[in-house]
Structure 1
């Protein structure tokens, strides 16, 4: 996505923009683009999970899935997602539905117990910090705020976080214990990390011996085109660079099967997995293995996941195409905004003229179109340029989406005219 020139504000017909906005208010819209939720038709793709006969409740290894135990999760399900998440099956843990919960717990474990390669619990080391590529995922930032972890913004490039900045900061400051990464089809920019970026993350020297990459591979199989973009294997790269314990990998089926009733995954080195399971065992006796069994049988294998996600793509691609066509029609060539054209994931990142994103969101809200708050894509909710707006096209139907995006463009024109 190109950067908007800020030297002069493009001319906007204020009267026409105001008239369009007044007409928008008269329509009393009630539309919501705040979160990247699957729409009901996407959820219907996994309806077989709700009707699957689970009376045969034994897993492939004979485990009675009705009972306690099996903290690591079912081997057959871990095998299915080993390839997509790039984690050997015996180093992959399958838990309950939320990868966010696993990230939360992993931070708690690191705060309260020494991670492999470390010498002290994070709570014993004074103030700690995470590097936060921006624009980024607001729920990652919320976890840092929850635990009082300082957030240090790092600019995103077309190849991932600016690795010159990352390497300099992580190499100089032992307070920096981690970096948040959404490596494929990043939230919200859609950027996919390059081979060079992954290699430098694995190889760079860090001042903290217990530095960790929180590798949230949320969109590992969420392609919007027939080209299935791939990323290098981070765990292998870390092992090759003699930093085998550096990466924590997270993923889930939340946007694959049922968002509220899926399976989440944690993957890492053997030492990290042993550490994680040791502490997870204090919190739970085991995950919902019946749900895992249903997933394994309905999805079948990795090819079954790929075929399932192709059906998701058929539902999502028209929505992304619609958003891009409306933005191009209404804002193309105006100099008021630029936007991403992602190959996968769930978001489009709209950048408006500096200093106008909050006003655009406010105007849209008053017109009945709810957007993610401006600034949510930055730590502490503060976007220094006040320019980034995240668009989540997945949930509304096409007719509602067309109304919402057209309304958004009206708000962009009015905000820039008045600014």
Structure 2
């Protein structure tokens, strides 16, 4: 396929007219499709409905250690729930505290506590002149929203297929004591679907930050969210807690996870994993914040999944629904855009997103065109701090929620909008080139 950049002005004008007609036809279809968030589909949620059958009014409501889950107590979670979440994260159960229904809430609490009370005896961040966070980009908009909410300055770090640019990370944290943390999605990153290499994890563990209260916020959201069975073996990730301990930095990581995309969104079990010293510090706040989280829900999840093999079997069912959707989107992108020079995209083996790189200056216009014809995408710029993508090129595609039929229509429209906006951009460049040439002749 001929690259659009090689087309003449006349060819671009002819193509533009054709694409505009197709776009008007698409608008006439009255589409109303939402691909803005990485939500499980209705069919995925239906898979887990029998979790509600494992506990009823006749059930034994005591944990394996004899705790009555209906009553107060057990601040840090049931032992069996700790083991379940430890298996999901690939850590030891002793390093886990079970929270409520969402890991995002734990991350917010961790930042909030650092701002108001400090980290393990260090000066509260609210008393410092400047607090900064490193943000690998493209990244997760809700991470950036937390740090922005607390007025923390965000510094972007480019992502690579092996993880963040570690040369830059190492340099920045070593030189600037104001840098207090970094956001990470180490497995099937949001939105690219990259998995951090062993070297990247070890370099994180060996960081020498200037700030004693520097923490890696390790959001292991997609640790068991494989699209292909073989990826469970081929795309594993090292345990960052163990690596930090080996490197002499045992307290440097907060790791987060939940079952939100395993059981039910907003009704799962969430957890933090960290060093024993960090956990003791966290518990001091928890004893004031809560009497204890929902142990009935913890017990329900443990009895439903039984063990880690049960979780993996359940996630294979999810993959059987998600895999065709990802493959359908990737097939259209390959067929319609490969070789055109107007877009690049990732091909993830897991997670919930595909990251699309449009021509510079085109992302906002593409998203707007899609919305104008009835398809809602994540806002352009959302994958960057402050919603500002300096190149205006990254678009996050979330294939999971629509049906296959809806996804086909949405992807066709997306590709059409990419083509149309790119042609318009190239015609603008032709016009500018012609104007500059005319100015040179006149001069």
Same fold (TM over 0.5): yes
Which of 160, 164, 168 aligns to 1:161? It is 164
State the shift of 1:278 in Å: 1.1
* Alpha-carbon distance, 1:78 to partner: 1.2
How do residues 281-300 of structure 1 correspond to structure 2 at under 5 angstroms? 281-300=287-306
Distance of 2:103 and 2:219 partners within structure 1: 8
Aligned-residue offset at 1:220? 0.5
Matched, 1:40 2:42: yes
CA gap 1:383/1:7 in 2 versus in 1, 3 angstroms = farther
Contact 1:114 1:122 in 2 (8 A): yes
The corresponding residue for 1:245 is 251
How far apart, in 1, do the equivalents of 2:250 and 2:371 lie?
A: 47
Give, in angstroms, the shift of residue 7 of structure 1.
8.1
Confirm whether residue 337 of structure 1 aligns to residue 340 of structure 2. Answer: no
Matches within 5 A, 1:295-374: 295-374=301-380
Tell whether the 8 Å contact from 2:61 to 2:70 is kept in structure 1 after alignment.
Answer: yes
Alignment partner, residue 393 of structure 1: 399
Residue 52 (structure 2) aligns with: 50
Residues 4-15 of structure 1 aligned to structure 2 (within 5 Å): 12=12, 13-15=15-17
Quote the Cα distance in structure 2 between the aligned partners of 1:8 and 1:278.
64
CA drift at 1:86? 2.2
Q: Is the deviation greater in 163-172 or in 42-51?
A: 42-51
Structure 2 unmatched ranges of 5 or more: 426-443
Do the aligned partners of 2:4 and 2:341 also contact (CA within 8 Å) in 1?
Answer: no
Q: How much is the aligned-residue C-alpha RMSD, in angstroms? A: 1.5
2:70 counterpart SS class: coil
Question: What is the TM-score with the length of structure 2 in the denominator?
Answer: 0.91
Contact kept, 8 Å, 1:245 with 1:268, in 2: the verdict is yes
Correspondence list, 1:65-80, <5 A = 65-80=69-84
Give the match's secondary structure for 1:83. helix
Contact kept in structure 2, 1:68 and 1:285, CA below 8 Å: yes
Q: How far did residue 8 of structure 1 move?
A: 7.2
2-structure distance, mates of 1:194, 1:384: 27
**2:185 maps to 1:182:** yes
8 Å CA contact 2:343–2:358 kept in 1: the answer is: yes
Distance in 1, matches of 2:368 and 2:73, equals: 50
Whole-Å Cα distance in 2 between the matches of residues 366 and 44 of structure 1? 32
Alignment gaps of 5+ in structure 1: none
Please tell me whether the aligned partners of residues 17 and 417 of structure 1 are also in contact (alpha carbons under 8 angstroms). no
* Stretch moving more, 11-20 or 23-32: 11-20
Do the aligned residues in 2 keep the contact of 1:82 with 1:88 (CA within 8 Å)? yes
CA-CA distance at 1:52 after TM superposition: 2.3
Distance 2:122 2:386 in 1: 30
Q: Deviations over 1:167-215 (max 9, x none)?
A: 1111101100000000000000111001111111110211111100000
Deviation readout 1:218-277 (Å, 9 max, x if unpaired): 000000111212111100111111111000000000000011210001110001011111
CA contact (8 A) 2:380 2:389 kept: yes
Q: Secondary structure at the match of 2:222?
A: coil
Decide whether the 8 Å contact of 2:4 with 2:342 is kept in 1. Answer: no
Bigger Cα Rg: 2
Q: Distance in 2 between the 1:282 and 1:9 partners? A: 66
Report the Cα offset of residue 77 of structure 1: 1.5
Alpha-carbon distance between aligned partners in 1 of 2:153 and 2:21, rounded to the nearest angstrom: 45
Give the equivalent residue in structure 2 for 1:207: 210
Rounded to whole Å, the distance in 2 between the matches of 1:286 and 1:44 is 29
Equivalent pairs counted in the alignment come to 414
Name the residue aligned to 2:424: 418
- Residue number in structure 2 paired with 1:21: 23
Give the 3-state SS of the residue equivalent to 1:68 in structure 2: coil
Q: Higher mean Cα deviation, 5-14 or 333-342?
A: 5-14
**Equivalent residue runs for 1:206-245 within 5 Å:** 206-226=209-229, 227-228=231-232, 229-245=235-251
Q: Residue 18 of structure 1: CA displacement?
A: 0.8
2:65 aligns to what?
A: 61
Which residue of 148, 152, 155 corresponds with 1:149? 152
Instruction: Determine the C-alpha separation between the residues in 2 that align with 1:132 and 1:140.
Output: 9
Aligned: 1:376 with 2:382: yes
CA deviation vs aligned residue, 1:292-322 (integer Å, no higher than 9, x gap)? 0000000000111111111111010000000
SS in 2 for 1:214: strand
Match of 1:94 among 98, 118, 132: 98
8 Å Cα contact 1:160-1:193 kept in structure 2 = yes
